[in-house]
Amino acid sequence: MAPNSKLLMGILIMCCWAAMVETEYVKYKDSKQSLSVRIKDLMNRMTLEEKIGQMTQIELSVASAEVMKKYYIGSVLSGGGSAPAKKASAETWINMVNDFQKGSLSTRLGIPMIYGIDAVHGHNTVYKATIFPHNIGLGATRQVCRDPRWGRCYESYSEDPNIVRAMTEVIPGLQGDIPANSVKGVPFVGGKKKVVACAKHYVGDGGTTEGINMNNTVISRHGLLSIHMPPYRDSIIKGVATVMVSYSSWNGIKMHANRDLITDYLKNTLRFRGFVISDWEGIDLITSPPFANYTYSILTGITAGIDMIMVPLRYKEFINDLTSLVKNKYIPMTRIDDAVKRILRVKFVMGLFENPLADLSMAKYIGSQEHRELAREAVRKSLVLLKNGESADEPLLPLPKKASKILVAGSHSNDIGYQCGGWTIEWQGHSGNITVGTTILDAIRNTVDPKTKIVLKHNPDAEYVKSKNFSYAIVVVGEPPYTETFGDSLNLTIPEPGPSTITNVCGAVKCVVVLITGRPVVIQPYVDTIDALVAAWLPGTEGQGVADVLFGDYGFTGKLPRTWFKTVDQLPMNVGDRHYDPLYPFGFGLTTTPNKAK
């Protein structure tokens, strides 16, 4: 036989052998097998090291191919500001709480988030199976914020658990509609163009003392179950795949250590069959000071019922300590198997064994016009009109598009970063031109008559305003971007020059003040000076939605999802409290009629 023939025969033999190996029947790879059969088959093939790897989530910055292979890492986290986030165009970040009566919009808002998550993560990881995205802005948060001093209050939809429950409709938007015959508590993900949702932060983090992040929530069990728990029950019914544990404590017990609420209630009473994940270094905070006894923290967190630990950097120490705890029988193998079974269940229902690679074709949808129009609609519907003239007979809004000269003032009038707030590109967000979008100033320019002169002056003095003969002014002020503890505020005041801009402008000319904030802020001292007042929350990239309503192309329809206080001394104050005396009550919102039907 000629050498080339021998080589060809050798190649053919190798190919046949490879084909035989490839076609060897394995139950867990067979999508026709039941979920329980696939899970059992795969777990029977796994070593302890592989199981512990499944329970370990590390940060992308340390997730090399070598590390992933050596330690059998099961999940990778892209932290706030970490790549691939920096490479992604930010989708609109908007507080959609005011459209709670329209659940369909909540579901629709989940769709653009899917495309962004799937496509962006796909560029930076080999296997989509290793990615469990968390903190998806709008869609995943289930907390009920009972005190706006909390820096994460804008991650909550309302002080009213019923509104937060209604907003769980975003889960079907992310994961797909759960089948009618689905078993309660079993996670569901409807195909490769859907993603896992995460309900967080379990449970009660919106009720901490003085709204201090990661603080203690002092409330009876009845109060916890009636105020903070209902959105989690609804999330589980809708097939949510993961639940993230809160940094906070309940009556002095750290949630990451609370077996009663994680295992006994969430898993056994609510029958949640997805997996429970810790927050970033959440188990470290079980001890005071943090990380004082890591072995104890691992033992306590895993025993409490946490299935996957967001390490995210100390993975070697975590893996070594957890392995030792299991081998020395401090943690039973049944607890490890329960955790891995839950993790694999989610991976199987996601279809990751059939479609392990991310769908990069979805990248084209990021920032697409279709999604921006949806975000613009969300902005329009979320705006709340708090004041419109001294009486119904003298409204200022909608503003006339034809005017000789208008003033646009305020630090937030021409700043995409301020409109987006935190969790945008960077963890804490940033001011300036951080992403593509339309500022409120640009939106005003796009909307008014071409002959109308627009003057931008961020912080004019009163004499300037009086001397320029403006037809009216639009003042856009608010909070700077923030997240988590950095946003905690005991005074909730708008930073200067916001207050002085309101005083100088609104004291000299007819004005509408647009507030860009993640929550109610101190505004009572200026209300009498203001002619019209709009809560625009965090409208994100689509400032055009604000102009759509200011100028009457659409009417104001939004209602307050949380109480607007008079002074911070009243806090916490929520609808239904005995001494309820708000500036604007829960559910308040004036309406206007659009100039023309849309």
Give me the active site residues, please. Answer: 279, 484
Residue of 92, 198, 155, 140 whose CA lies nearest to 487: 155
Helix (H) and strand (E) counts for the chain?
Answer: 20, 15
Q: CA 287, CA 49: separation in Å to the nearest integer?
A: 26
Output DSSP code: residue 124. T
* CA–CA gap between residue 473 and residue 505 (Å, rounded): 7
From residue 112, give the alpha-carbon distance in Å to each of 105, 135, 364: 12, 15, 11
- b/e map 73-92, b = 16+ CB within 10 Å: bbbbbbbbebeebeebebbb
Token digits of residue 137: 């802005």
Measured distance CA(8)–CA(29) in Å, rounded: 31
Distance CA 350, CA 373 (A): 29
Measured CA angle at 508 (ends 503, 511), to 5 deg: 75
- Asked if 484 and 213 count as a contact pair (C-beta separation under 8 A), the reply is yes
Residue 190, token pair as written in the block: 């409807």
Question: Hey, what are 367's tokens?
Answer: 């920032």
- What backbone torsions phi and psi does residue 217 show, to the nearest 5 degrees? -95, 110
275-314 b/e (C-beta count within 10 Å ≥ 16 → b): bbbbbbbbbbbbbeeeeeebeebbbbbbbbbbbbbbbbeb
Instruction: Name the phi and psi angles at 373, rounded to 5.
Output: -65, -40
Q: Give the whole-angstrom CA distance, residue 407 versus residue 510.
A: 10
